């Protein structure tokens, strides 16, 4: 992936947060990153190389300008791959497994670990489940509240596949783009949100 060069003007603009001090040059930051992560394999190195969108999120602390936001929405929307069969909903029971599984992507995970979506880490889903995080909004009754509307279903697929195609610099992982979840897993977790039988909608 190509590293974006950020002109000084952009750096100054980025210092929007009250106490933020001026961001050192990217080359300086990169030297520190190399000292700490330089021994990791090429595959791991690639994972921490920001793509064009993430580079903007990093320098602006998730507050891209409106021009940057427009560019990001366009770029990220183009990366969404919709199911060839046009079906967005799989099996909600398997979707629960995906939502509940927080494994995958950690250096402590054994090779071949099936990654989950870890949705419960950040969202309330099944209102009966007490162990849920609050970094994201509650998704309880998500499908029911949206009357299982087909347009909304497609938009939510987009959201899960690539959160930044909907919200620039979203704090939610880009599950499809970063290949954390495959198409079937996304369909299953979609069903967990949109199947009327799913505990999410009970």
Partner 1 sequence: MKLPILGAAALAAVMIVAAGPLTAQSPPQDDSEKEIERYRQMLSDPFSNPGFLAVDRGEALWAEKRGAKNVSLEGCDLGEGPGKLEGAFAKLPRYFADADKVMDTEQRLLWCMDKLQGLDTKDVVLRRFSGPARASDMEDLVAFIANKSSEMKIQPQLSHPKEKEMAAVGEALFYTRGGVNDFSCATCHAEEGKRIRLQGLPNLSVKGKTAQETMGSWPTYRVSQSALRTMQHRLWDCYRQQRWPVPEYGSEALTALTVFLQKQAEGGEIKVPSIKR
Interface residues with partner 1 (CB under 8 A)? Answer: 19-24, 28-29, 31-33, 35-41, 44-45, 47-50, 54, 57-58, 61-62, 102-108, 115, 118, 120-122, 130-135, 171, 173-174, 178-180
Question: How many helices, marked H, and strands, marked E, lie in the chain?
Answer: 10, 0
Phi-psi region of 128 (alpha: psi -120 to 50; beta: other; left: phi over 0): alpha
156 contact, one of ligand HEC, partner 1, none, CB 5-8 Å limit per kind = ligand HEC
**Closer residue to partner 1, CB minimum distance, 86 or 111:** 111
Q: Does 123 bind ligand HEC (CB under 6 A)?
A: yes
Q: Does 104 bind ligand HEC (CB under 6 A)?
A: no
Task: Give me the DSSP letters along 1-25.
Answer: -PPPP--HHHHHHHTTSTTPPPPPP
Distance of CA 135 to the CA centre of its chain: 12
Q: Kindly tell me which residue out of 88, 115, 140, 159 binds ligand HEC, with binding defined by CB under 6 A.
A: 159
Per-position x/- string for 66-85, each x denoting binding to ligand HEC as judged by CB under 6 A, each - no binding: --------------------
Stretch that binds ligand HEC, among 20-28, 50-58, 85-93, 162-170 (CB under 6 A): 162-170
Q: Does 54 bind ligand HEC (CB under 6 A)?
A: no
Q: Does 201 bind ligand HEC (CB under 6 A)?
A: no
How far apart CA 149 and CA 143 sit, in angstroms, is: 8
103 contact, one of partner 1, ligand HEC, none, CB 5-8 Å limit per kind = partner 1
SS3 at position 202: coil
Q: Kindly tell me which residue out of 64, 117, 143, 168 binds ligand HEC, with binding defined by CB under 6 A.
A: 117
- Long-range Cβ pairs for the range 101-107 (8 Å, 24+): 104/180, 105/180, 107/44
Element (H, E) at 74: helix 66-77
């Amino acid at each position: 992936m190509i590293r974006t060069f950020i002109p000084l003007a952009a750096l100054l603009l980025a210092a929007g947060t009250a106490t933020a001090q001026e961001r050192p040059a990217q080359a300086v930051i990169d030297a520190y990153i190399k000292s700490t992560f330089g021994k990791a394999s090429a595959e791991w190195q690639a994972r921490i190389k920001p793509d064009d969108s993430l580079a903007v999120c990093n320098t602006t602390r998730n507050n891209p300008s409106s021009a940057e936001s427009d560019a990001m929405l366009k770029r990220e929307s183009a990366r969404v791959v919709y199911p060839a069969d046009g079906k967005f909903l799989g099996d909600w029971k398997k979707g629960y497994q995906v939502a509940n599984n927080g494994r995958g992507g950690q250096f402590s995970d054994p090779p071949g670990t099936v990654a989950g979506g870890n949705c419960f880490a950040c969202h309330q889903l099944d209102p009966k489940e007490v162990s849920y995080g609050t970094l994201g909004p509650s998704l309880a009754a998500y499908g029911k509240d949206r009357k299982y509307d087909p347009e909304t279903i497609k938009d939510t697929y987009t959201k899960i596949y690539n959160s930044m195609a909907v919200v620039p610099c979203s704090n939610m992982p880009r599950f499809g783009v970063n290949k954390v979840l495959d198409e079937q897993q996304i369909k299953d977790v979609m069903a967990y949100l949109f199947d009327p039988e799913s505990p999410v909608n009970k």
